[in-house]
Amino acid sequence: MTSTSALLVIDVQNDFCEGGALEVASGSEVIAPINEMMEASEIVVLSQDWHPNSHQSFAQNHENRVPYEVMTMPYGPQVLWPKHCVVETKGAEFHPNLKTGFAQMVVRKGFRTEIDSYSAFFENDKTTATGLDGYLKSRSVKRVTLAGLALDFCVFYSAMDAQALGYEVVVETEACRAIDLDGSLEAALIAMKNAGIRVK
């Protein structure tokens, strides 16, 4: 990659890998290809889900609600998830085999109790910025490549926001794994291709 390109590694955390609280099937399989990509990239950013225990996206924080149910929040529909990636827990840590030393920046997201954040660029209200766009622009990045977990949620939303912000976007699907909730994987792939994102 040239210095105008960046690799965005999305949420390769224990809770999204095998045995985690919100396990993505075969999630740890993304680690080896991502480590190779990071070693070959000049600019690397990691995103990290970072939720307070009382986060409103957790099903158990709502009476009579169950995981994967959809609830209407002030910012729109929200999937209610099992409790995951809670601040200062092992589940929130990056997978131990991920070579995090290659990254220059970590973007934490979802730390506001009242709003979830799939994208590494914006929280789910689509207006509260994480600061990632400013960092990339300060480093003259024009093109971003995304990999990580999960392809149909956090990778997807990050890719769509990057495209909307004017970056050239590539998604390395072999270095991603999906949750595939009610057809969400196919819908995400179609939406990304329709948006002009290069899905490899």
Report, as residue numbers or ranges, the catalytic residues. Answer: 11, 109, 154
Cα of first residue to Cα of last residue in the chain, in angstroms, is: 16
3-class DSSP state for residue 44? strand
What is the rounded distance in angstroms from the CA atom of residue 94 to the CA atom of residue 82? 18
Task: Tell me which H or E stretch contains 172.
Answer: strand 168-177
Tokens of residue 123, six digits: 């929280």
In the three-class reduction of DSSP (H, G, I as helix; E, B as strand; rest coil), residue 45 is classed as: strand
Neighbours of 63 (CB within 10 A): 5
CB neighbours (10 Å) of residue 130?
21
Q: E strand or H helix at 9, and its extent?
A: strand 5-10
